[in-house]
Amino acid sequence: MKFVLDTSIFVNPEVRKNFGDNPTEAVKTFLSYAEKLFGKVEFYMPPGIYREVMHFVEGEEIRPAIELYIIKKPPNVHELKIPAFVVYELIEDIRRRIDKGLRVAEKAVRESVLDTDNVDNIIQKLRRNYRRALREGIVDSKEDFELILLAMELDATIVSADVGILTWAQKMGIKWVDSSVFREVLEGLVEKLEGKNL
Amino acid sequence: MKFVLDTSIFVNPEVRKNFGDNPTEAVKTFLSYAEKLFGKVEFYMPPGIYREVMHFVEGEEIRPAIELYIIKKPPNVHELKIPAFVVYELIEDIRRRIDKGLRVAEKAVRESVLDTDNVDNIIQKLRRNYRRALREGIVDSKEDFELILLAMELDATIVSADVGILTWAQKMGIKWVDSSVFREVLEGLVEKLEGKNL
């Protein structure tokens, strides 16, 4: 049994609270499960996700356990192939988002002319709306894409709370668990598998 | 021998002038070559490209020849697969462009506050710069992507003048001819192949 882990488990406040009060505590809690499941369940992270997680935690508190229980591996991007219709839909989606981003930008320009004293607020709002138009719900980073590719390569289960990632996982026939229920899944696995020789 | 044709041959003024004074004339000139090469060379268009071309020409002047000499075929998006590294690079490229698009938008907002009488010019400039940041040199439409997929499926040569399309073609190991030299290629083919039984 293999899981590919996203940062959201340890970093996203809504999800992380299941595991601990801060990212370091969350990783520690996770590692206590991973230790019990060692030899029965494998946990993976692609390099970009690993770097993101390490950026949020106190490294010395979780080493060397994290190196033992989380396998770092990049996907083999030169061997893997993506179904064309998934890329086709991605290109269509991006095109629509690009058009929407321009409308958001034009609206901000027209607002700022009518309210010249409020330009900083208008720019803040522009950033929020632009981000929503262009980035929310889409696989928009190589870190996210590596996660999907690695799960595909290993025939592993993706653990994520990201809508863009979960949408792609479903299009590409990849198993997934939502980060918000991952602690229960780990509890269940420990209960079922602990002590058994597989 | 198979070619997959982009709209640029008939529509892009720089390229089209090799074939005729307007899109209809350009298609007619092309069809005179295709007629001579019939049975020896096949010319294809995916449906989106065909629709685009038909939008620019007088249909009655080129029918039924266009139906006989240009084969309309969509790519089989449910069978074809794209190398993961190509999608990986696409996602990285788009991410950089999205960030740049936001900078272009913020700049337009700040300019408009200092020059409130000139908002229409600022929006025109925003549209140009945004388009350049987000869309130039990238495969950003399903029409373009269909062209690449169809060439891949048929092991055909892409004929295009679009930088985004030609860049992808090269990444994916697809044969290509630049639209600007396509007339010479057709001349050469007629000279070499006309009268021969292949």
Q: What is the pLDDT of residues A14-30, one digit of tens each?
A: 889 999 999 999 999 99
Tokens matching residue A180: 């918000």
Same-domain pairing of A52 and A9: yes
Distance to chain A for B121, nearest Cα, Å? 11
| CB pair distance less than 8 Å for A80 and B84 | yes
Answer whether A93 touches B (CB < 8 Å): no
Same-domain pairing of B153 and B190: yes
Segments forming the whole domain that contains residue B29: 2-79+141-197
Backbone angles phi, psi at B12, to 5 degrees: -60, 115
Neighboring chain A residues of B112 at a CB cutoff of 8 Å: 109, 112-113
From A149, A173, A152, select the one nearest A74 (Cα to Cα): A149
Query: pLDDT (tens digit, 9 = 90+) per residue, B45-64?
Result: 999 999 999 999 998 999 99
Same-domain pairing of B170 and B190: yes
Neighboring chain A residues of B109 at a CB cutoff of 8 Å: 105, 108-109, 112, 119, 122-123, 126
Same-domain pairing of A131 and A151: no
Neighboring chain B residues of A87 at a CB cutoff of 8 Å: 82, 87, 90, 145
Q: What is the mean pLDDT of residues B126-154?
A: 91
Query: pLDDT (tens digit, 9 = 90+) per residue, A29-57?
Result: 999 999 999 999 999 999 999 999 999 99
Answer whether A68 touches B (CB < 8 Å): no
> Taking all residues of chain B, what is their mean pLDDT, rounded to a whole number?
92
Same-domain pairing of B193 and B117: no
Same-domain pairing of B103 and B186: no
Same-domain pairing of A106 and A184: no
ipTM over 0.90: no
Same-domain pairing of A97 and A65: no
Distance to chain A for B185, nearest Cα, Å? 30
Residue A162: which CATH number?
Answer: 3.40.50.1010
Answer whether B99 touches A (CB < 8 Å): no
Has this prediction a pTM greater than 0.90? no
Beta-sheet strands, E only, within chain B: 2-5, 42-45, 70-72, 81-83, 157-160, 176-178
Same-domain pairing of B98 and B166: no
Same-domain pairing of A73 and A7: yes
> Measured between alpha carbons, how far is A103 from B73 in angstroms, rounded to an integer?
34
Angle subtended at Cα A100 by Cα B141 and Cα B114, rounded to the nearest 5 degrees:
125
> Measured between alpha carbons, how far is A147 from A177 in angstroms, rounded to an integer?
13
HSE of A192, CA atoms in CB hemisphere, 13 A: 10
Amino acid at A181: V
* Number of domains present in the structure of chain A: 2
Residue that terminates a domain, selected from B95, B116, B135: B135
Answer whether A103 touches B (CB < 8 Å): no
From A90, A111, A44, A37, select the one nearest A71 (Cα to Cα): A44
Neighboring chain B residues of A123 at a CB cutoff of 8 Å: 106, 109-110
Neighboring chain A residues of B119 at a CB cutoff of 8 Å: 109-110, 113
| CB pair distance less than 8 Å for A108 and B105 | yes
Same-domain pairing of B7 and B75: yes
The answer to whether residues B169 and B148 touch, using CB atoms and an 8 Å cutoff, is: yes
Same-domain pairing of A63 and A150: yes
